A = this chain, B = another copy of it.
Amino acid sequence: MKALSPTDSAFLWMETRNQPMHVAGLNIYTPPPGAGPDFIPKMLEAWGQHIRAQSPFNLRPVLRMGMWHWQEDKDFELDYHLRHVALPQPGRIRELLAMVSRVHGNLLDRNRPLWEAYVIEGLPGGRFATYIKMHHALVDGVSGARMMASALAHTATEQKPPLWAQTYGRAPGARPSKAAPGLVEQFQNAVLAGRQILPGIASGLWDVVRPVTTQDWAALPFQAPPTPFNVEISGSRRFASQSYPIARLKAIGHAAQATINDVTLAICAGALREYLITQNKLPAKPLVAMVPVSLHGETTEGGNQVSLLLANLATHMADPRKRLKRIVQSTAQAKQRLMEMPRLQKMAHGMSSISPMGPGMVTGTAKKHPPFNLVISNVPGPKESLYMNGAHLDEVYPVSIPTHYLALNITISGYRDTLGFGYIACRRSVPALQRMLDYTDNAIRELESALGLSSVPVAASAPASKAPTKKRRTT
C-alpha cells in the first residue's frame, strides 16, 4: 500500500459530483480489411482472457488515517471496467459525442481501480471507437495519452495485450514522488493540499508574468475579464471534437511567422470571439488563456522542459491578422520571461501538473477576477499510424476536465498529420458548445483569407478518415 503524493491526493479530496477529476481519450478506429461483424466481439472475448490488471489499472484508493493510499484491488472484476456499448441509429459522430458527453459527466467508483474503458460500436462503415477514462489522481493528461498510445501496436499484424494487461516503462501509478513523509506530515499534507497548492498558483503565476517593462503585451493574472466560462459548474458535460490537417495550420504559421502553438491559440481565439459575440457577452478586455507549453528545443535551460504561460488571446481585436500578431507577441514575451526566471520554472512545472484543478480551488472572487479564462492545452501525440488488433487508429481526441470557474477546456492532440481539437465544457455554463466547431472552421478560414492563403482544405492522409475537415457535430 503506497501513499499518494499530496498533489495526487488533492484530486481525490477536491473531487465533487460537479467537478469530476478524470481525463479520457476518445479514439476512432477502422477494422482491418475483411473484418466480419464479429470483429469486436472476438476482440472483446480475447481481451476477456486478461482478467488480471497491471499497475495502475489494479489500484484503488483507500483512505487510512486521513490519507489516501493506493491498494491493489483483490476483487478486480474486469467486467466492471470494460464496457461494450453501441450507438443508436444512424450512429453518426453526433451520437458518439452525445454518448461521450454523458459518460464523461459520471464519477468513477472509488471502490475500484479508477478507470473505465468503453468499446463503442455502430459508427458508419463498421468503424468503432474507444473511450477510456482514468482518474487524474492516477495519471495526468499527457502521460495518460502516452500510455494509451504505447499500448497500441505499430503494425496491423502485431497483437498486443489490452491496455490494462500491459506494463508501462514508467507506470503512471508510480509517479515520481519524494520519500514517504511521516504520518503526521502526510496527514497535514492531505488536509492542507488545497491551501498549499492555491497560494502557489497565485503567487507563482504572478511572478511568472509580472510585467518587467512598460511595453506590455503579455497577459496578467487576475486581469482576465469575467466571462460565462468563469462560473461555478454543474456536473453535466458536453463534448465536441473536430480535426484538421497540420499542414493547413502550418501554412498559416508560415505566412504569419507564428508557431503552430500560436496558430492553434489564434484559432481558439477567433472561435471564442465569435461564440461570445453571438452570446452578446464579448468582454471589452481580451480573454486570457492558461497554456501549458513545452520549452524543449526553445531554451538551453536543463531540468524541467514543461512550463506554462498566460496568453493574451486578443479577442477584443476584430482583425484576425492583428489578433494573431498580438498572440505571438504575448506568448513570445511570456516565454522570454520564463527563460529569464529559471527559479520559477520548477514552480510553474508544479503548477502545470495540477493545471486542470488548481484554479477550481480559487475562491468565489475568481468569478469577478478570474486568474485566466480557460485552459488551452496542446498534447503531443504519435506521428505514425497505430493499430489495435489490426484496426487502424484514425482519430484521437482528448477529453479533459472543466472545473469551477473554468467551465470550458480546449485540449488539442496531435496524431499523424492531424490535430484533433477536443472541447469539453459544463453543459449548463456553455450551452452552445457545438457551435464552437463552426466557429473554429470560421476562424481558420478567416486567418487563411487574411493571410492570402487558399482556403481549400489540405487533405489529411489518415486513410480511413474520409473527410478530415468535415465538421464533427456535438449533441
Binding site for B on A (CB under 8 A): 17-18, 37, 40-41, 75, 77, 79-80, 83-89, 91, 95, 98-99, 102, 105-107, 109-112, 121-122, 234-236, 427-428, 431, 475
A236 touches B109 (CB 8 A): yes
A236 touches B85 (CB 8 A): no
Q: Can you report 13 residue pairs joining A to B where beta carbons are below 8 Å apart?
A: A17-B109, A37-B89, A77-B428, A77-B431, A80-B236, A83-B102, A85-B86, A88-B122, A89-B121, A107-B107, A109-B234, A111-B234, A111-B235
Within the complex, the shortest CB–CB distance from A124 to chain B, in Å, comes to 14
B110 touches A235 (CB 8 A): yes
* Among A98, A121, A428: residue with most chain B CB under 10 A: A428
A109 to B112, CA, bound (A): 21
Q: Give the oligomeric copy count.
A: 2
New contact pairs (11) apart from A86-B88, A89-B121, CB-CB < 8 Å = A18-B111, A77-B427, A77-B431, A80-B427, A83-B98, A85-B85, A85-B88, A85-B99, A109-B234, A109-B235, A111-B235
Q: Which residues of B contact A80 (CB under 8 A)?
A: 236, 427
Q: Which residues of B contact A77 (CB under 8 A)?
A: 427-428, 431
B41 touches A75 (CB 8 A): no
A446 to B8, CA, bound (A): 55
Q: Which residues of B contact A85 (CB under 8 A)?
A: 85-86, 88, 99
Q: Which residues of B contact A102 (CB under 8 A)?
A: 83
Q: Which residues of B contact A17 (CB under 8 A)?
A: 107, 109-110
Q: Which residues of B contact A112 (CB under 8 A)?
A: 234, 236
